[in-house]
Structure 1
Amino acid sequence: MSVGVEARREASVWRRGWSFVRRALLLELRIYASIGRFIARRPAIARGSAGFSYHKPVLTVLVIFIVLSAVEIPIVDLIVHGWPVVRVAFLIVGIWGVTWMFGLLCAYLMRPHTVGPDGIRVRQGLEVDLAFSWDDIASVSRARRVDEPKSPRFEVTDASRTLVYRMQDETDIEIELEKPTVVRLPGGGANGGEQIITGVRIWVDDPQAFMDEVRKHL
């Protein structure tokens, strides 16, 4: 019995390890895919759909991080100039870090929320991409809210379970679903994998334009 339990534990560890590696590889690929889209000026917007950005609240922070990371490379290189191995290692890590941050910025720019004939796609950064058809959606409303820092990802009441994607602790669009719906979220634990939700709150930089587009279809 103990041998079986130990085997299951070992298999579980391997599954978690593989899941982590797979997710890291996918993130890395999406970084370069986002940079490629940015260079080609081809945002991920389906034909007939309209894209709506959500990056403005964090744009300044991301740009500052990118600039500081880029400035840090020659400074560190000057400090460790006398140790070739260390110098090369720091250069690789530094360039990779700048590339990663720039790719994350490109993901915000090139993977907007979309509204189109097929419904609404909710996106955020590199991983989140949730598609809701118009048949799934009961209502869409403009409702600006500011939550406490580090508020839970899910807002749960007796009758609802709302998924919340904030930008700087704010949302301004609320999407109510017709019925409890299963979505697959990135990562594991309580906030990842398959989750049942009844609605979504998101941030859109131009909520009025978003609502105008929604009214064309809903």
Structure 2
Amino acid sequence: MTSLGLWVVRRPHGVGDGDIAVGYARAQASTSYGLAFFFLVETVGVSFMLAEHPVPHLVMLVLDLYTVLLVLGLHAAAVTRPHVVGPGGLRVRRGARLDLRIPLEAIASARYDLRFPDANKAEDGVLDVAVASQTSVTIELTRPVTAVSLLGRRTEVRTVRCHADEPQAAVAAINGLLPVGA
């Protein structure tokens, strides 16, 4: 719900002075808005069906409106929590569910690399942060970094693949901060 508030006032989370925000939510926007619309239509339909039963009507109305807010909140989290490239390193994020900080000295290279990873096949040492079932930037690391999932599972990764709305600009921003010859 915090993300909804940030979205309304158009403030990104965790982007400081001198940092470059790299958006990734554009690919999922139509799906998010479509889901919110259909949940809203369902809310109206269920409201008419349960109009003669006040208690179930109120319960379903609250649940349905919460569902609409939840879908919009998930999209707002992706919009307000972009990937961040800055002097302190790279932050690869997936809404409020993932925040991987990679120091600049741990980055070997970054390149544009459009992929459609299979969610059922995880590669050892690779973190796929796909949006709309695609990644567009591959970051190779000089040493492993630890990615922590929302539920606390720790994974050592040597390659990070993520999506960016403007992948060439994201790669240029990352490579622009790397030492010459990296």
Give the share of equivalent positions with the same residue, in percent. Answer: 28
Structure-2 separation of matches of 1:98 and 1:146: 28
Deviations 1:136-192 (A, max 9, x none): 2111111112234x333x312xxxx111111233211111111122221212xxxx5
Structure-2 separation of matches of 1:91 and 1:128: 31
1:155 match: secondary structure: coil
Q: Which amino acid letter does the alignment assign opposite residue 155 of structure 1?
A: E
Structure-2 separation of matches of 1:83 and 1:93: 16
Post-superposition offset of 1:50: 0.9
1:182 match: secondary structure: strand
Match of residue 171 from structure 1: 135
Runs of 4+ in 1 over 3 A off after TM superposition: none
Match of 1:193 among 153, 177, 181: 153
Structure-2 separation of matches of 1:123 and 1:145: 18
Post-superposition offset of 1:56: 2.1
Q: TM-score, normalised by structure 2?
A: 0.91
Match of residue 34 from structure 1: 3
Match of residue 53 from structure 1: 23
Give the structure with the higher percent helix: 1
Query: Would you say how many aligned residue pairs link Structure 1 and Structure 2?
Result: 177
Structure-1 separation of matches of 2:145 and 2:76: 30
Q: Which amino acid letter does the alignment assign opposite residue 7 of structure 2?
A: F
Whose radius of gyration is greater, 1 or 2?
Answer: 1
**In 1, are the aligned partners of 2:115 and 2:135 still within 8 Å (CA)?**
yes
Post-superposition offset of 1:67: 0.8
Q: TM-score, normalised by structure 1?
A: 0.77
Match of residue 165 from structure 2: 205
Structure-2 separation of matches of 1:51 and 1:127: 18
Q: CA RMSD in A?
A: 1.4
Larger RCO: 1 or 2 (CA < 8 Å, sep 6+): 2
Match of residue 182 from structure 1: 146
Structure-2 separation of matches of 1:137 and 1:125: 22
Structure 2, unpaired ranges of 5+: none
Structure 1, unpaired ranges of 5+: 1-31
Q: Does the alignment pair 1:216 with 2:176? A: yes
